[in-house]
Amino acid sequence: MKGLFVKDLMIIRHQMTTFIMFILCAAVLSMTMESYSAVYYMMFLGSALIVGTLSYDEVDNGYTFLFTLPFQRRDYAREKFLLCTAGMIVSAVIGYVIAVISVTLRGGTADALFSQALPGVVGMFFGLSLFHSVMIPLRIRYGSEKGRLVLYILSAAMAALFILALKLTDYRMPSFAVSDTVIAAVLITAGIVIMMIGEKITEKILKKKEF
């Protein structure tokens, strides 16, 4: 599995220009909107960058070559989901650093920044866990073209549901108080469980699929 991590990290390294552009866009967003919005932005784009490694694996019958190497197909599924989890954490940290710098440049203090950002980070973790658990199996099962179409449909559906939720609940970003700890724990646990289910589904698809 170590070799799979190295492979994907090298792929991401070759996209470093794109990643730097993401960071610059997050910095601009943090300066023009709420500073903690950079955290959510980086988590989403960082996850999209990692899911994009699937496209590189498909190029020139890449799966046919990959699965001749000495690892099992379940290792491939586990590596992808572990990398997605690590990517969310690393992206959130980078986004938080950008937000702290933004607040400092504005002449403010970052004391309340963590508590302001944390509710959204927990929500993003749950949402992106669901996103990965749906997209990775679909991309492997149907390929990049059909998978991309499903991605657009899924993104549109999630956006529509989010807008509907805002209108129905008159949503306002709460501060992360002690009373919210249980809710956060439930969402994080649910996200982890969803990722585990997605990983098992991916394993089954890989075992049945011929490359």
Lowest mean pLDDT among 21-25, 124-128, 171-175: 171-175
**Around Cβ 160, how many Cβ atoms within 10 Å?**
10
Cα 196 from Cα 181, distance rounded (Å): 22
Lowest mean pLDDT among 50-59, 81-90, 144-153, 198-207: 144-153
pLDDT digits (tens, 9 = 90+) for 178-194: 456 777 788 889 999 99
Q: What is the pTM of this model?
A: 0.78
pLDDT for the residue numbered 169:
47
Task: Name the residue ranges covered by the structural domains of the chain.
Answer: 2-208
Residue owning tokens 């070559």: 65
180 CB-contact burial (10 Å; exposed 0-12 / middle 13-18 / buried 19+):
middle
